């Protein structure tokens, strides 16, 4: 079966190796930088550490297929957006700086302590860039503000305890779609989209080129790009995806990307679509853009 696979299928396999490959070079470059920085401060500058040298060379050589695999993964996964770009280009920048660190290591072997400072400085920059690229990658997987989120959450909890509670902040209890009578607006479903969809389909990352928040973005593009058919949940791709069995490939949100929607949340989205998928101020969705070549 492998013999008849297309080149694009092999490239997709390469892309899926990215999560397996990325941790090894990341750790090795950090270790190499730490060892050399400590040795430099201790005055050991004539030759590079053998252990750090091994870490640098293996980390650099492993980083090449890692960056390549990440690029393929984003291309075939349709991943776009600011966050994807930041992760991609900081990773490429870190690879370039690793190459410079290897060059500085070679010069240090030739010139001795004269190149020690340059070698260590470039290594530290490489380690910094690797850490930044890893941070952006973590935000892609675990959500925005992954690193400092607990600090922000703690402050939010403290402020919410001291502030008077307002009933309007709590989403109303929505019955299943077939039992609902009251209208459902964007304010009723926005918390669901923010909690379950924004990480992959928000302003910073658009998996498969799809953006669902803020509200107007989910209606961008032509009619064939729309995942919501206002007034018709059954013909809306979004509703179809969130009601698929959890084991299906197209089920949303994916099992590894967060908690599944509850029946109440699905019913709320269904009623919102039935009521016209209105926006924050009750406005109707914009008309789809004309298809390319339409009217010609």
Q: Tell me the CA distances in angstroms from 290 to 83, 113, 212, 214, 270, one per residue in order.
A: 29, 66, 20, 22, 27
Where would I find the H helices in 171-231? Answer: 186-196, 198-201
Read off the pLDDT of each residue in 253-269 and give the average, rounded to a whole number: 81
Residue 290 has a pLDDT of: 74
Q: pLDDT class for 6, splitting at 50, 70, 90?
A: low
Q: pLDDT class for 180, splitting at 50, 70, 90?
A: very low
Read off the pLDDT of each residue in 2-22 and give the average, rounded to a whole number: 64
Contact between 22 and 70 (Cβ < 8 Å):
yes
Contact between 26 and 130 (Cβ < 8 Å):
yes
Residue 37: pLDDT above 60?
A: yes
- Top pLDDT among 65 and 245 is at 65
Q: How far is Cα 129 from Cα 144, in angstroms, rounded to an integer?
A: 19
- pLDDT tens for 186-232 read 888 888 888 888 878 877 777 777 888 888 888 887 777 788 888 88
Tokens of 37: 């920085």
Read off the pLDDT of each residue in 270-280 and give the average, rounded to a whole number: 89
Residue 28 has a pLDDT of: 93
Helix (H) or strand (E) run with residue 258 in it: none
Q: pLDDT class for 175, splitting at 50, 70, 90?
A: very low
Residue 3 has a pLDDT of: 45
Q: Is the peptide bond before 274 cis (omega within 30 degrees of 0)?
A: no
Closest CA to 86 of 185, 2, 198, 205: 205
- pLDDT tens for 55-83 read 999 999 999 999 988 888 777 766 777 87
Q: How many helices (H) and strands (E) does the chain have?
A: 11, 0
Q: pLDDT class for 110, splitting at 50, 70, 90?
A: very high
Residue 1 has a pLDDT of: 44
Residue 291 has a pLDDT of: 59
Q: Is the peptide bond before 36 cis (omega within 30 degrees of 0)?
A: no
Q: Tell me the CA distances in angstroms from 160 to 157, 164, 189, 194, one per residue in order.
A: 5, 8, 22, 19
């Amino acid at each position: 079966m492998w013999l008849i696979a297309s080149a694009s299928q092999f490239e997709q396999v390469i892309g899926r190796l990215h999560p397996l490959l990325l941790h090894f070079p990341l750790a090795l470059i950090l270790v190499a930088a730490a060892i050399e920085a400590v040795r430099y401060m201790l005055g050991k500058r004539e030759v590079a550490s053998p252990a750090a040298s091994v870490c640098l060379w293996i980390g650099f050589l492993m980083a090449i297929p890692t960056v390549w695999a990440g690029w393929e993964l984003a291309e075939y996964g349709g991943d776009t957006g600011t966050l994807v770009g930041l992760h991609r280009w900081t990773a490429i920048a870190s690879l370039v700086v690793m190459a410079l660190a290897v060059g500085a290591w070679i010069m240090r072997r030739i010139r001795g302590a004269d190149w020690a400072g340059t070698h260590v400085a470039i290594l530290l920059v490489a380690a910094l860039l690797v850490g930044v690229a890893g941070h952006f990658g973590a935000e892609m997987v675990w959500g925005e503000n992954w690193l400092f989120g607990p600090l922000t959450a703690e402050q939010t909890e403290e402020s919410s305890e001291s502030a008077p509670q307002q009933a309007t902040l709590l989403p109303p209890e929505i019955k299943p779609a077939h039992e609902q009578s009251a209208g459902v607006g964007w304010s009723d479903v926005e918390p669901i989209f923010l909690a379950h969809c924004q990480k992959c389909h928000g302003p910073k990352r658009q998996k498969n080129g799809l953006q669902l928040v803020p509200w107007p973005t989910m209606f961008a593009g032509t009619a064939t790009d729309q995942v919501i058919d206002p007034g018709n949940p059954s013909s809306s791709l979004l509703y179809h995806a969130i009601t698929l069995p959890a084991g299906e490939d197209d089920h949303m949100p994916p099992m590894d990307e967060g908690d599944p929607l509850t029946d109440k949340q699905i019913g709320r989205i269904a009623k919102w679509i039935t009521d016209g998928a209105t926006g924050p101020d009750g406005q109707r969705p914009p008309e789809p853009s004309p298809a390319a070549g339409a009217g010609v």
